[in-house]
Chains A and B, each alone.
Chain A
Amino acid sequence: MSEYKMHILVCGGPGCSASKSEQIAANLRSHLQQEGLEKEVNVVLTGCFGFCEAGPIIKIMPDNVFYVKVQPEDAKEIVQEHIIKGRMVERLLYTEPSNGKKTPLDTDTDFYKKQVRIALRNCGIIDPENIEEYIALDGYKALATCLTEYTPEKVIEIVSASGLSGRGGAGFPTGRKWAATAKSKAEQKYIVCNADEGDPGAFMDRSILEGDPHSVLEAMAIAGYAVGADKGLIYIRAEYPLAIHRLQIALDQARDRGLLGKDIFSTGFNFDIELRYGAGAFVCGEATALIHSMEGLRGEPTMKPPRTSDKGYLGMPTNVNNVETYANVPAIILKGADWFSSIGTENSKGTKVFALAGQIKNVGLIEVPMGITLREIIYEIGGGMNGGKKFKAIQTGGPSGGCLTEKHLDIPIDYKSLSDAGSMMGSGGMVIMDESSCMVSIAKFYLDFTVEESCGKCTPCRIGNKRLYELLDKITQGKGTMEDLDNLRNLSHVIKDTSLCGLGQSSPNPVLSTLDNFWDEYVEHVKEHKCRAGVCKALMKYEINPEVCVGCTACARNCPVNAIKGEKKQAHQINQEACIKCGTCMEKCKFGAISIK
């Protein structure tokens, strides 16, 4: 195989493939073929580039030029202009929001400048369906090194010294987990990968599995060697069909090459991995519930101890880590614990992948060193708020996390400072909100999710969360009392203290953090029956200003429930009892006579 002169990398992540990136790749290939260039230019469908806001993205190497919002029809122009004539296609270049300049190099953009990619190191570079490309970038070398040069104790020592901790949410030190499973004596041990990513808005694990599945397989084999297990299981939700498909291909290729199976690297070490599908229940992200689900039982958690490292899958010692945690391991083995622990802060080492969502300019997937501030993430990487609106809150950690405000923007992000501030790292979802978000409704949204996802085994979580939801609903209806606010807080603490597993212990966090940080807004809902963001419909009132209204009847004719009355050329009135607050009248009024009160 001769060397390709050029590579066109097309993002095959979930967002870009929904916008037809596979069609873009196919069109590029066919145009290249028409020009007789298919042997010189290689089209690769890669994993997620992360910059989903600007998708579909393609990147041309070695020129290092990246094009954004590419359509399948653009393929011809890209081949004709860029590939053949060497001229950049100006209109497809990315425009930096901060200075309005066209920016051809992705490394020059604000979005990528501050990122450090460890877990996502291969995403967007390699073809995830080709094991050889993973090997070409030092894939499976960490496994080979461990098996041939290190004792299992030494492997655990390196992982411990690196300071790597669980990326699924709780942040338990990975080395300690491995050591505990290694210490347990049993005939059979298991390595489990938790790919049951359940936080609304989080898609980092999915991106890693879709973009670089071998990094997880390799790390699981390393963990197997370290703790003395020869069997691995990946618990993945059936809602991730592409990730499952690519994992299956990766498993087949790894077995084919002898990198999984018997006698790996001729060292007598055996390890193989099976996939287990979950039905997408949030509680199954909890290790004991996950294990019960894999055993074919109901996905319900059990009391700890015993920890899974003593009694896990089928009663045997089991090491459970999250996808992103595993993805860091091969890099740590190859580059050393010192390298990894030099990145990040005193207490939190390495990097973290976050999914940026909400009302900011650049939504997408980012990997940043621990210790970066929320301000840097929102205003530099995220490009600031959309539509010039004002920042109000950032929700981190999903349904178990909390809402932070302006005053928290300069705290360095690590496990401890986030939990001190009343939120948590979680699996890495970040939802950024502007002044058009009502914080009571946000808390209600997350409670709605937890009520739905509570497994029902323990009373505080099953009944307590439901009651919390009802209180919040009452407040958004304008029927809340100050006593309700006290009850919200008391009940939240009871649920936190008495629930069986992490789900219930953290589910009141969105309520508590909004009570702490947005107390005024709760009081406004209760005392003034007012929702300043205009989100709570029951508290909204559309009113017609009789001095501005000319009586054109446009509003009355368009009202779906005939709630507007008035004579032609006379000021109209809205019957508040009948009004369903759909906002149609305000849209239809050409004179700006209707406003929300």
Chain B
Amino acid sequence: MAQIKTLADLQAVKERVYATMKTRVEGFDKNLPQIRIAMATIGIQAGAKEIYDYFIDQTDAKQIKAIVMQTSVIDDGNQQPVVVKVTMPDGESKIYENVDKKTADAIIDSLKA
């Protein structure tokens, strides 16, 4: 292991490791939009896991600051089959149905602005 010889070395380790622990220490950042993907049985069957992974990759790639997380049935469960709910920090939310990669891109791009 590399020796830590200066305050800058220490700071570098801190920043690198803290990034991996941020969610553990701080919990959710309430100032970020939240993207919830419904992952109940039907959602998973219809490929929600793939869409979930796609959201994670794309928000990273496009450097969009958002919390991507899984949830169970969204609202009353009438929407089918891959459902995504986006909640903005001000509390406003919108539900998208039949989400595929194309819709996912549109959702991510809408958060860019």
Contact between chains at A64 and B27 (CB < 8 Å):
yes
Contact between chains at B28 and A140 (CB < 8 Å):
no
Contact between chains at A125 and B39 (CB < 8 Å):
no
Residues of A with C-beta under 8 A to B14: 135-136, 138, 141
Known contacts A3-B20, A86-B69, A86-B70: A61-B3 contact under CB 8 Å: no
Residues of A with C-beta under 8 A to B6: 265-266
Q: With the chains together, A145 CA to B11 CA distance in Å?
A: 12
Determine the interface band of chain B, counting residues with CB < 8 A from chain A.
20 to 34
Residues of A with C-beta under 8 A to B62: none
Distance in angstroms from B9 CB to nearest chain A CB is: 9
Known contacts A86-B72, A135-B10, A257-B3: A4-B23 contact under CB 8 Å: yes
Known contacts A7-B23, A61-B23: A144-B10 contact under CB 8 Å: yes
Contact between chains at A61 and B17 (CB < 8 Å):
no
Chain A residue with minimal CB distance to B41? Answer: A85
Contact between chains at A265 and B5 (CB < 8 Å):
yes
Contact between chains at B69 and A5 (CB < 8 Å):
yes
Chain B 2-20, CB-CB to A under 8 Å as 1, else 0, gives: 1111110010011011111
Known contacts A86-B69, A259-B4: A1-B20 contact under CB 8 Å: yes
Which of B7, B13, B24: most chain A Cβ within 10 A? B24
For the complex, count residues of A whose C-beta is within 8 A of B. 39
Contact between chains at A266 and B69 (CB < 8 Å):
no
Asked if B1 CB lies within 8 Å of chain A CBs, one says yes
Asked if A137 CB lies within 8 Å of chain B CBs, one says yes
Distance in angstroms from B47 CB to nearest chain A CB is: 15
Which of B6, B14, B28, B36: most chain A Cβ within 10 A? B14
Asked if A9 CB lies within 8 Å of chain B CBs, one says yes
Asked if A148 CB lies within 8 Å of chain B CBs, one says yes
Q: With the chains together, A259 CA to B9 CA distance in Å?
A: 11
Chain A 234-256, CB-CB to B under 8 Å as 1, else 0, gives: 00000000000000000001001
Residues of B with C-beta under 8 A to A144: 7, 10
Known contacts A141-B10, A259-B4: A136-B18 contact under CB 8 Å: yes
Contact between chains at A132 and B13 (CB < 8 Å):
yes
A contacts, CB < 8 Å to B: 1-7, 9, 42, 44, 61-64, 83-87, 125-126, 132-133, 135-138, 140-141, 144-145, 148, 253, 256-259, 265-266
15 contacts between A and B (CB under 8 A): A3-B22, A3-B23, A5-B56, A9-B24, A62-B26, A83-B70, A84-B44, A135-B10, A137-B21, A138-B14, A141-B7, A141-B10, A258-B3, A259-B4, A265-B4
B contacts, CB < 8 Å to A: 1-7, 10, 13-14, 16-28, 36, 39-40, 44, 56, 67-72
User: What 4 A-B pairs come out closest when comparing CB atoms?
Assistant: A258-B3, A86-B71, A136-B17, A7-B24
With A141-B10, A144-B10 known, 20 other A-B pairs at CB within 8 A are: A4-B23, A7-B23, A61-B24, A61-B25, A62-B28, A63-B27, A63-B28, A84-B39, A85-B71, A132-B13, A135-B10, A140-B10, A141-B7, A141-B14, A145-B7, A253-B1, A257-B4, A265-B6, A266-B5, A266-B6
